[in-house]
A and B are shown apart, each in its own frame.
Chain A
């Protein structure tokens, strides 16, 4: 036969890895399911933590979906999409990162049997998209607005949202304590978009209850020179000068050179240099400021000069801290000491240096403009505080979202059950294949209450049946899993609240990701460049290592 004789057409570069077809879609789905399984157990108040230890010896203990996904270092191209949606959920809403991965994994799992049966992925995609639009509309319908309440009332409501987020974290035991702290700090910065106005400082030691919030700025004492201890450490209503220059005796120009022919002139050069620095210091003092902060170094000369004049100074202050001080006290950061006018100085009510654990902290409180807050976190171990910081970050994001977009839905799987019921109901009105697909989408949504039960060690089937029954009745829309008793309870009445935007975003992102993965039927993976190949080839002769660099699945098929 002539075709036998034809030379093989080489289309792609040697070593390129391709895989395609139905098997490929299924393979992708499987990979995603495995990833979703990894984070599955972290969901909910009874969720567990993961300890991830990377090659560099860093250890992270976390319960935050996005953090875990990031640290897993996933290379599988399809599974990577899940990492991306977790990240996007994190940056968009800040919480619900585990939820979004679970949803995506579950949607895909439900789609798998259909794909195996030969349904065209595009059909599935269309139905899933429809379902998600319907679901989101339903969420909006079910959400309860907290708009128009008084500040006190609103604060209480926001605290409920924050504590729902925190309940699944390591600091869940003290969730009320931290929730009010988070709400206070978010309310303090108001509508300002800059999240970095809320500083989180970590000091190992102490119990988490020793954490406190400063309505102003707090930062760790910077490196200080001799003479620092002689400065006063407590001020009432001080003026604050913020600088971004060095106050040190140094050469004014790097590569300048002075040539002297007359030794008698020597002293004048020395004096000139001293005068420059004294002039600078004097201007700082004349400005009337009692506290001088600089991003760059304040040398021993400056330290002692200020100590002599009862002024507090701190050099090498971190830039973000300085910015926060600037925002808090209303001062502006100066790059020169010339012409310091009254307006550029900041003001605060009290400044003091206080001992926190083993560190000394500079604390500015009672600030004029009051648009900053600093949370000083305490805890027994570094990893603990790290995780607490991540948890607080989530809570802060949630409260901010809830403030802007103030509507909430009941948590504890209640909203998921309700949407699921609604979609199933809706599916029955559709003729055609889509009915099946929407039904499976509805089933996938049940993963949240199911996982909540599993993690808490309850019989998931039993609880889910109770929930389904309750939701089918007319007044059961707010019922969710009660993780304390293993039964069901009215989440809304128990104040398990989530901002509706979390759910909306999660469903949106998860559906998008699922559709994206379903729509891919071929992956072409180029071989790594020569040098990378050589490097990976050198790493051990095991079979795994040999095909690792090329993305093994395609290799095996050929």
Chain B
């Protein structure tokens, strides 16, 4: 930290451990911050779009992740710089709110910072720049609203939903079978959606993955998939019209929670104790049988004795099912979770059309399918894939697609993708800039330029001559007054995104612009960084 001296040349000690703190202020601080932000954006830039590349990240304990999801990349990078952390949070909050577009938002923020740097060099006050950006972002958001289109969908007509999800999936590694995955995602969301309240609880969609098989084998199960098998190998593998007892108590004699001791001093007493224990087991199984349960799902385990007894009494059982899964099973089958055997009643049993155990390939691993449930409000997406990394990445991609479908159910406005909406906004912002008096005009114009950065990155990543493509598309948009022209990343032959069916959600795009502006504004406002110089 810069030392201050008084008249006598003695240094002041004002701040604790002053010498160990570093301080950057003024333009220097702003430049350093901008640089940090830009660096982060540059890393993500190549991941944008359908031809974007993936990143391989290795965690400290050697775990590998391959992804092109912006939020995941940044999360795993474990950045240290404060400003870079802000960018990470930026993409995370896009992830929380929208679930998709996490790369785009960082690239946009990086572009805005880059433009801001130029303006600062010209001597424009950082706050004026920030304010100009703020105005520009409002123009852009309004423009998006203007060019957006609404479309109708229903449980039977979900083509447009699928198209939008496909746009999201096209940039991922799974784009090979994006059609089928998009269909799965849309069906899953529609199954759990509350169309009247426009609310989707994504917790009700379970995503399971298992190594092996092909990506094409990924399926949507209208029911629950549990990574467990029957407690005894000789129990039936398939139960039709199952009545399921969902228990949170173990198959063992109940224990009082208070510390207790049973004094055994005679052989008779021991005998009674033994008999009683056995009677407990017997009673428990009997109670289940009495209410008509044909399958027991238990949160806890039970020992071999109970297991044997269950087999003996012909009552199939599953043990060690986790709390979350138990809850999902209860919701799906319309059953109630029962904490005590005495509480079991026929009404509390869950109903499922078919419960079957399925084994995979040559492995001994088995999974339990609970299907045709009374209430289909809980579904499972079961992902197959060649290796663990593909499955993990597919999970993330499906999550993005689910979020997109959910957003569309909340708000059914869409804009066209492929950079077309950014170019359209850029044109609108640029036109507005000329009308604005004051220094902010420069900032607004820079904002327009920064918006072009996204189609530019798309073109670059697709191997197209970026500048030529952008200029061509831009002039076409103005000439034909058609805001649907974008970058033809897949070389289909037309750059009208309406024809190509490349959609993105309106709220996702608006959010991107607003969030990026917000964070850039925050970074620009900092003119003083005080930090410990060494760790």
Binding site for B on A (CB under 8 A): 23, 26-27, 30-31, 34-35, 38, 41, 45-46, 48-55, 59, 61, 63, 72-76, 79, 170, 173, 204-209, 225-230, 249-253, 255-264, 266-267, 269-270, 272-274, 300-301, 304-305, 307-308, 354-355, 357-358, 379-384, 387, 456-457, 484, 542, 544-545, 548, 551-553, 556-557
A251 CA to B257 CA, complexed, in Å: 5
Closest chain A residue, CB of each to CB of B299: A226
**For B330, B337, B531, which residue has the most chain A Cβ atoms within 10 angstroms?**
B337
Quick one: which of A207, A228, A257 contacts B327, CB cutoff 8 A? A228
Stretch at the interface among B210-218, B351-359, B481-489, B522-530: B522-530
Contacts A229-B327, A273-B257; A74 near B15 (Cβ below 8 A): yes
B262 touches A552 (CB 8 A): no
A358 CA to B94 CA, complexed, in Å: 10
Shortest distance from the beta carbon of B120 to any chain A beta carbon, whole Å: 12
B337 touches A304 (CB 8 A): yes
Contacts A53-B529, A170-B522, A381-B86; A23 near B515 (Cβ below 8 A): no
Quick one: which of A266, A308, A355, A542 contacts B336, CB cutoff 8 A? A308
B260 touches A53 (CB 8 A): no
Quick one: which of B11, B90, B323 contacts A552, CB cutoff 8 A? B11
B327 touches A74 (CB 8 A): no
In the assembled complex, 10 residue pairs joining A and B whose CB atoms fall closer than 8 Å, in A order, are A63-B525, A74-B15, A205-B92, A229-B204, A263-B262, A269-B256, A300-B339, A380-B89, A382-B89, A456-B127
A300 CA to B203 CA, complexed, in Å: 19
A-B contact sample (17 more), CB < 8 A, given A53-B531, A209-B514, A551-B13: A48-B527, A51-B528, A55-B532, A79-B14, A204-B89, A226-B337, A250-B257, A256-B258, A258-B260, A304-B248, A304-B337, A308-B336, A357-B97, A380-B519, A381-B86, A381-B90, A383-B522
A304 touches B339 (CB 8 A): yes
User: What chain B residues lie within 8 Å of A387 (beta carbons)?
Assistant: 522
Binding site for A on B (CB under 8 A): 4, 6-8, 10-19, 29, 33, 82, 85-86, 89-90, 92-97, 125-128, 131, 134, 199, 201, 203-204, 248, 253-265, 269, 272-273, 276, 299, 323-324, 326-328, 330-331, 336-340, 348, 438, 511, 514-515, 518-519, 521-522, 525-532
B248 touches A35 (CB 8 A): no
User: What chain A residues lie within 8 Å of B336 (beta carbons)?
Assistant: 227, 230, 304, 307-308
A260 touches B257 (CB 8 A): no
Contacts A48-B526, A51-B529; A553 near B13 (Cβ below 8 A): yes
A384 touches B331 (CB 8 A): no
User: What chain A residues lie within 8 Å of B528 (beta carbons)?
Assistant: 38, 41, 48-51
Contacts A53-B82, A170-B525, A357-B97; A548 near B10 (Cβ below 8 A): no
User: What chain A residues lie within 8 Å of B90 (beta carbons)?
Assistant: 380-381
User: What chain A residues lie within 8 Å of B18 (beta carbons)?
Assistant: 544, 548
Quick one: which of B15, B33, B85, B263 contacts A260, CB cutoff 8 A? B263
A34 CA to B3 CA, complexed, in Å: 10
B262 touches A30 (CB 8 A): no
Quick one: which of A270, A358, A557 contacts B96, CB cutoff 8 A? A358
A31 CA to B92 CA, complexed, in Å: 42
B19 touches A544 (CB 8 A): yes
Quick one: which of B15, B128, B328, B519 contacts A72, CB cutoff 8 A? B15
User: What chain B residues lie within 8 Å of A264 (beta carbons)?
Assistant: 272, 276
Quick one: which of A34, A55, A229, A260 contacts B203, CB cutoff 8 A? A229
Closest chain B residue, CB of each to CB of A357: B96
B8 touches A23 (CB 8 A): yes
Shortest distance from the beta carbon of B123 to any chain A beta carbon, whole Å: 9
Shortest distance from the beta carbon of A460 to any chain B beta carbon, whole Å: 14
Contacts A225-B323, A253-B258; A380 near B515 (Cβ below 8 A): yes
A384 touches B522 (CB 8 A): yes
B12 touches A76 (CB 8 A): yes
Quick one: which of A23, A230, A456 contacts B330, CB cutoff 8 A? A230
**For A76, A206, A209, which residue has the most chain B Cβ atoms within 10 angstroms?**
A206
B13 touches A76 (CB 8 A): yes
B257 touches A266 (CB 8 A): no
Contacts A170-B521, A226-B326, A230-B330; A355 near B199 (Cβ below 8 A): yes
B93 touches A548 (CB 8 A): no
A305 CA to B339 CA, complexed, in Å: 9
B126 touches A48 (CB 8 A): yes
A207 touches B526 (CB 8 A): no
B339 touches A548 (CB 8 A): no
B272 touches A263 (CB 8 A): yes
Contacts A170-B521, A457-B125; A75 near B248 (Cβ below 8 A): no
User: What chain A residues lie within 8 Å of B95 (beta carbons)?
Assistant: 205
B96 touches A205 (CB 8 A): yes
Closest chain B residue, CB of each to CB of A50: B528
A169 CA to B514 CA, complexed, in Å: 18
B519 touches A227 (CB 8 A): no
A266 touches B518 (CB 8 A): no
What are the 6 A-B residue pairs with the smallest beta carbon separation, nearest first?
A53-B531, A358-B96, A48-B527, A205-B96, A205-B93, A381-B89
User: What chain B residues lie within 8 Å of A270 (beta carbons)?
Assistant: 254-256
**For A73, A170, A173, A209, which residue has the most chain B Cβ atoms within 10 angstroms?**
A173
User: What chain B residues lie within 8 Å of A551 (beta carbons)?
Assistant: 13
